[in-house]
Structure 1
Amino acid sequence: MGLPNNTDLLKRRLPTGEKNLITDLDGIRVGHATLHQGDIHTGVTILSPRENIYPNPLPAACHVINGFSKPIGFIQVDELGTIESPIGLTNTFAIGTLADGLIKRVVKEQSDVNQQIGSFNSVVMECNDSYLSDMKSFPVLPEHVTAAFDDLSIEFLEGDVGAGSGMVCYGLKGGIGSSSRIIDIKGKTYTLGCLVLTNFGQPDDLILRDRLDLPANYLSKDQTGSVVIVLASDAPLDHRQLKRISRRAQSGLARTGAYVSHGSGEIVLAFSTDRSSDRLIDPDLDRLFLATVEAVEESVLSSLWHANSVVGYHNRQVLALKDVLTP
């Protein structure tokens, strides 16, 4: 997935993974529960970093570019430097439902193997989809959390699916996007993957704005919104190094035209699937920094590329990039 190999929307310096998805990393799976009906355009996306992560936490770090956001679990991730939870994405008013579902699922899983659980740090991130969806009707239910888990796979859709169902990015239909990069460091090959939930910006901000054929007086939505960025790598990295990598995500956003407006919450979570005690030395991180910038840039554009035009709440129409992009 990601963008087509022959795309003219960006220039790649690094090769992509086989699927050009975050699931090019072994063990990672993604699932969606999508709600498109009437005034409801919302859903849940689950990213599972590995099987049975609670007793087998992974190195992790968080970075807040702009804190107009309501993530759950970031404080402990940054304090301990690990993640012990599947990662949940949804709309702003459903974070409680999703966190509750994560907690109950992990408690049951541990009980099923006769393990007691006294504490659990669920990780949930959100964007506000109220422009296209009746968020105040609280449409996301516990069964949708279960459905997203049941959908976990190494192959997954991008665009207006799952948590991305009602998101608007650069005034166009946004949502879920993903990409990956392959890098070589001193003869060893590593993968870095990215998944985004995009919900920010105006058409005039987009780097491709001169190629958009939009109707007159199109869209009255302001710049407020958010973007969630999840980064993963199989390189041996510690919390501090993952923090450094997560900070480079902003450069990838900027390549697409983002400038981080007041009301747009931009947050990043990065983790490594390598639990060994080995670590790269810091001068070797440069290729991972470049991979981060490229993967974030492509993931954002991919969320636009794969989305479909939607008529949503209050009969508001948001067009898809593919419907307005000119050569």
Structure 2
Amino acid sequence: MRIQKSYEPRDEGILYVVPTPIGNLEDITYRALTILKSVNVIAAEDTRNTKKLLNHFEISTPLISYHEHNKREREYLLLEKLANGESIALVSDAGMPAISDPGYEIVQAAIEQDYAVVVLPGANAALIALVGSGLPNKEFLFYGFLPRKQKEKEEELERLGKLKATLIFYESPYRVKETLKTIGKQLGNRQIAIARELSKRFEEYIRGTVDELITWANENEPKGEFCIVVEGNAHDVIEEVELWWSDLSIPNHVDHYIQEKGVTSKEAIKLVAKDRDLPKRDVYQAYHIE
């Protein structure tokens, strides 16, 4: 068990996870700017992209790259900096780091080494899209990007389609048409919403049924990054559970418990009655009399 008191004085550095705007620079928080100015180094998914953000706010903190292709080799360096008392701000190109972006591994590694990890609140496309979709948000599941391979995508949607929770996906403009068709095939003609270019000038929501949005996608050239929000399963899904004892007679079922668990026949009868949802007297009669 590990307990982190985030703001107690410490000799080691702190790893700050800092969300950045997903489109509108005004969505940066005062606290995020303070952290970006005060840390020793900023670990960025793309230093060129982050440099533009820092220049806009006149921040001169040194940058180091931390992305999908170098995260393992960078991990040792970043942990060494924390050990030396240097604090680090982790940022992605947009939104919350580690959510469909690099960051999970360094957060996990820092926690395992007992360094403090402080996550700032901020911009996140999935939650914006969920609320703006108008679909139920009491229970939801954020998935991120579906697999690119069609078979894997279908298998994941079949699994997710059983859930009552509203589903949230990210998707590229190059794959959104095909993904909508696959959603329709696997989940049916549910209510759905697409949110694109969130917080930017051309922000747009398209709400309707899956069939309606497929038609829209065929008639329009999808542009920008997409969030897809899909209505959950409105029906109860009853999965068949294979009962291990289904091929056993009641006497054999009772004998199984006596032999395997070493219980008395009386206790075994109770267990069988519970398994089969039968009155104990019926099991007793089947075992001792019939």
TM-score range for the pair, normalised by the shorter chain length: under 0.3
TM-score, normalization by structure 2? 0.24
Q: Which has the larger Rg?
A: 2
Instruction: Compare relative contact order (CA 8 Å, sep 6+) and give the higher one, 1 or 2.
Output: 1
TM-score, normalization by structure 1? 0.22
